[in-house]
Amino acid sequence: MGKMSPFQRAYTTTLAVIALLSAGFLAGFVTHDRIGSSADDFPILTEAYDLILNQGLPTPPAAPALEYGMIRGMIQAYGDPYTSFVEPAQHELNSQNLEGSYGGIGATIEKDPEGYFLLFPFPDGPARLAGIQDGDRLLQVDDLVLTPDTAQDILLAAIRGPIGEEVTITISRTPGYQAVPFKIKRAEIALPSVTWRLAPDEPRLGLIKVNIIAASTAEEIQKAVADLQERGATHFALDLRDNYGGLLDAGVEIARLFLAEGIVIQQQYRGKDVETIKVEDPGVFFSLPLVVLVNQNTASAAEIIAGALQGQQRAPLIGVPTYGKDAIQLVFLLQDESSLHVTAARWWAPGLEQPVGDAGLQPDILLAADSPGSDPAVQAAIQHFFSP
């Protein structure tokens, strides 16, 4: 096992987000010292490993596949549903998602029926300016030769990198499909975490959809409110449905936007005193008419936001009970750039009738899970604000 250095953030998320969004979610940078251990602490594991290498007929998989398998087996035996292991390429993509931007060439990548990766450059992005055309086949990225079996996260991790540095990609295109290399300087590519619009049936209601709790989310919300107000919105719905979590610090920052005072959350790490995180100054939107939309997939850092606003009676929750995850993970970066995410603390929001982990947050305006209509939660928000 390699020496671990802390990824200087804790995080809150559900494991489902790793599968659904290809993202793991960080949250509050806490350094942690590694407890020393050696092979002598795991004699049976060492013995079994030696037997497989020296006595097994099949050729063992290339490194580090066996080590990764051992780690996953250890986590399974550990029994915590939120402790997880993330391989290097996925860890890099996770980090970029949470930072809200990455260094890239500005193109989407799709696979055709024959297994080729196709590039579709963004207008005015580095790839388009370098001469990449829609539908160009991507054959190679630096030293990575692509095959139909290449995992897309491996490809994305290779094509992304430090802003300002060059990456060499090799493409082919019709009619001759001759291989042509391009050197492209990576630029900063935004990964927006927030979208917004006016409610179709009520233009006084601004809908702010938060998809992930990233470092840029609080700033994006401020832009959303300003734009919606210019377009006539007077009341707002913060939509946290299907938001599986993200950065804990970012979640606290978002809650503070809408609070004038009081406690956001309390948290406690093993062997530590309870830590109270408060509102430091009135938020810019502390008096903004607000509701929060939630569902069964509102989790972790998204629940921190919703719980703080509900616990202080700042905004009612509309929807169905939330996921119910009150665990915080520390993220440790391993020596090969993979990461181990370890549950290390619990959080709770003062003012709630029950802990979030028991049954999730309970909406103030409860909807049936199969409520009819185009968007019952939005309709409930309109009724809440504008019905006589």
**Domains of the chain by start residue, with CATH:** 1-99+193-388 (3.90.226.10), 101-190 (2.30.42.10)
Strand partners, 239: 209, 293
Tokens, residue 365: 């305006």
pLDDT at 123: 87
* Dist CA 211 CA 295 (whole Å): 13
C-alpha closest to that of 184 among 168, 201, 171, 170: 168
pLDDT at 352: 87
SS3 362: coil
* Dist CA 51 CA 71 (whole Å): 18
pLDDT at 12: 55
Q: Judge contact between 238 and 381, C-beta under 8 A.
A: no
Other C-beta atoms lying within 10 Å of the C-beta of residue 288: 19
pLDDT at 11: 59
284: phi then psi, degrees, rounded to nearest 5: -65, -20
Q: Judge contact between 363 and 318, C-beta under 8 A.
A: yes
Q: Model pTM?
A: 0.80
Going residue by residue through the chain, which has 388 residues, state the pLDDT in tens, using 9 for 90 and above.
Answer: 333 333 335 555 543 333 223 233 333 333 344 445 565 788 999 899 999 999 999 999 988 999 999 999 999 999 999 999 999 988 988 888 888 888 999 998 988 888 999 999 998 899 999 999 999 999 999 999 999 999 988 999 999 999 999 999 999 998 999 999 999 999 999 888 999 999 988 999 999 999 999 999 999 999 999 999 999 999 999 999 999 999 999 999 999 999 999 999 999 999 999 999 999 999 999 999 999 999 999 999 999 999 999 999 999 999 999 999 999 998 899 999 999 999 999 999 888 878 898 899 999 999 987 676 679 999 999 999 999 7
C-alpha closest to that of 106 among 186, 164, 5, 37: 186
- The H-assigned helical ranges of the chain are 16-21, 43-55, 65-78, 88-99, 126-130, 152-159, 217-230, 248-257, 301-311, 356-359, 376-386
* Dist CA 353 CA 332 (whole Å): 34
pLDDT at 337: 92
* Dist CA 252 CA 301 (whole Å): 8
pLDDT at 377: 96
Contacts for 106 with CB less than 8 Å, ≥ 6 apart = 121, 122, 125, 126, 127, 128, 187, 189
C-alpha closest to that of 85 among 100, 65, 102, 99: 65
Q: Judge contact between 378 and 207, C-beta under 8 A.
A: yes
Q: Kindly tell me the burial class for residue 190, based on how many C-beta atoms sit within 10 Å of its own C-beta (0-12, 13-18, 19 or more).
A: exposed
Q: Judge contact between 13 and 300, C-beta under 8 A.
A: yes
pLDDT at 62: 87
Other C-beta atoms lying within 10 Å of the C-beta of residue 182: 17
pLDDT at 187: 96
